[in-house]
Amino acid sequence: MALYSSIRPVFLSSQPPVYDFLAPSLFKISRVACSARHISTTPRRFAQSNSKDAASSPPSEAPRTPKSGAEAALKPSAPSKALTQAQRDFLSSALRVNQAGELAATLIYKAQTPVVVASHPHLRPLMKHMYDQEDGHFITFNSLLARHRVRPTAMYPLWTFAASALGWGTAIMGREAAMACTEAVETEIGTHYNEQVGVLLEMVAKMEESGEEVGEELKSLVETIRRIRDEELEHLDHAVENDAQKAVPHELLTGVIRAGCRGAIWVSERV
Ligand SMILES: [Fe+2]
Ligand SMILES: [Fe+2]
């Protein structure tokens, strides 16, 4: 929950975002849908056009002119251009696949932990640490999906079953197999996040080159994915330190799991 608290001011602010990286798609949302939500992503110009809502806004939200400091820093000072359809599609599919991956990660650890800890109690703090981080990642992407109205993958029920089965199956094979599962999953997920960061940085660089303002949310998303990537790679290190590579048969087990991860990523990006 500490992780959730730390990102909450950025992603769940009661103020509308200055630049929402999926903002163009949000303009299509109906007034009813916007007014029914507690966390509004209504663009400012849309909100101001709704005189009834404006009249009922609490006094603390009434001032619209940035004052100073951080608030002033968010004031647009460069032209902003809508993202291309390809960029918006990339961001939607990135959030969708990331949420699916974090769902799977939490379920793998949830299934593994009771079995692994029963025979190796000293691993309880490590399993809890990794689970807690995965849970934080899952909360992060759940929030981002809700905020940007990105639908979860249609494969959600299948991934739920598959991840639980993978976690339980590797745990009953033994501690080494459970760690080999983490090694395989984190190798693929770390690579996946790294590639996403690369694409996002390229997007940011192009915007800066053309003199466009890069929205705070896009910058924040890059930092969030970077941090999560680093935590996934930390899990990979923990797995190797705890004899993942002594699993039998290590190559076959990690090869099958890695192929499964790549397949799941490919499908979740599209479906
Ligand atoms: Fe994760
Ligand atoms: Fe992880």
DSSP 8-state code for residue 18: S
Which two three-digit tokens encode residue 225?
A: 């994915």
Ligand 2 centroid distance, CA of 3 (Å): 15
Is 120 labelled as part of a ligand binding site?
Answer: no
Residue-by-residue pLDDT tens, the chain, 271 positions: 343 333 333 333 333 333 445 544 433 333 333 333 332 333 333 333 333 333 333 333 333 333 333 333 334 445 555 667 777 788 889 999 999 999 999 999 999 999 999 999 999 999 999 999 999 999 999 999 998 888 999 999 999 999 999 999 999 999 999 999 999 999 999 999 999 999 999 988 888 888 887 788 888 889 999 999 999 999 999 999 999 998 889 899 999 999 999 999 999 888 8
Neighbours of ion ligand 1 (CB under 5 A): 102, 105, 134, 137
Ligand 2 centroid distance, CA of 20 (Å): 28
Amino acid 270: pLDDT = 86
Distance CA 240, CA 116 (A): 16
Is 235 labelled as part of a ligand binding site?
Answer: yes
Measuring CA to CA, how many Å separate 199 from each of 17, 71, 90, 124, 222?
22, 28, 9, 37, 10
Distance CA 249, CA 264 (A): 23
Is 102 labelled as part of a ligand binding site?
Answer: yes
Amino acid 82: pLDDT = 62
Q: What is the residue extent of each domain of the chain?
A: 15-73, 85-270
For the chain, what is the radius of gyration of the CA atoms?
Answer: 21
Is 134 labelled as part of a ligand binding site?
Answer: yes
Is 241 labelled as part of a ligand binding site?
Answer: no
